[in-house]
Amino acid sequence: MLNGETMARVTDMRGHPSSDRSERCPRTARGYRGPHNGEQQIVRGVVDFVEEHYASSISLRDVAQALGYSPAHLTHKFSALTGTPVTAWIIKRRLYAAQELLVETKQNVMAVCEAVGFGDVCYFTRQFVRHVGVTPAQFRSANWSRIDKNESLVTSTHSA
C-alpha cells in the first residue's frame, strides 16, 4: 500500500542525508563530505517542483526544463539519490494526494482523478491499483467510516 514512507525518506534526505548516502560520496582530506550540494539541490528541486505542480499536467520533461537539466540526466541523478525515478515520484505524489481526497472529501473518483493531475480515469485507476492494491472506490469504501464520522469534511477540491 502506498503510504508516506517514500515521502518521509525524501523529506529526511532533503534536510538530513542518511549516512549511507554520504558513504557513496568522494572522500576529502577530512573524511566523507556528504552529498554534493548540487545533488541536494536536484532532490530539493524535483520534490519542490512536483509538490507545487503535481495537480497539473506535468511530465519529466517539464521538471527537467524547470531545473535546467536534460530529462535523462535528471532522472538518473534523482533515481540514484532517492531510489525512485522522477516519473514514479510524480505518480506517487499524485496517488498520495488522491488517497487523502478519497478519505477526506466526498468527491467522486473522476473529480479526485482530475484534482490530482491525472487526465484519464482509467490510467488513474490502473496506477492506483498497482501502487495501493485496491481500486479508488474500494479504498474509499474501506475508509468510509472515517468520512461518516466527520461531517465537516470538505466537498470541494482540497490541495495538499
What pLDDT, in 10s, does the model give residues 122-147? 999 999 999 999 999 999 999 976 55
Strand partners, 154: 105
Distance, CA of 144 to CA of 1 (rounded, Å):
17
What pLDDT, in 10s, does the model give residues 17-68? 333 433 333 333 443 344 567 788 999 999 999 999 999 999 999 999 999 9
CB atoms near residue 128 (< 10 Å): 28
CATH of the domain at 142: 1.10.10.60
Q: What is the mean pLDDT of residues 71-79?
A: 96
Q: Does residue 67 sit in the same domain as residue 120?
A: no
Whether the model clears a pTM of 0.85, i.e. scores above it, the answer is: no
Q: Does residue 51 sit in the same domain as residue 123?
A: no
Q: Does residue 100 sit in the same domain as residue 84?
A: no
CB atoms near residue 13 (< 10 Å): 20
Q: Does residue 75 sit in the same domain as residue 120?
A: no
What range does the domain containing 138 cover? 96-148
Q: Residue 25 is placed in which grid cell?
A: 560520496
Q: What pLDDT does residue 46 have?
A: 97
Q: Does residue 85 sit in the same domain as residue 101?
A: no
Q: Does residue 61 sit in the same domain as residue 80?
A: yes
Number of structural domains the chain divides into: 2
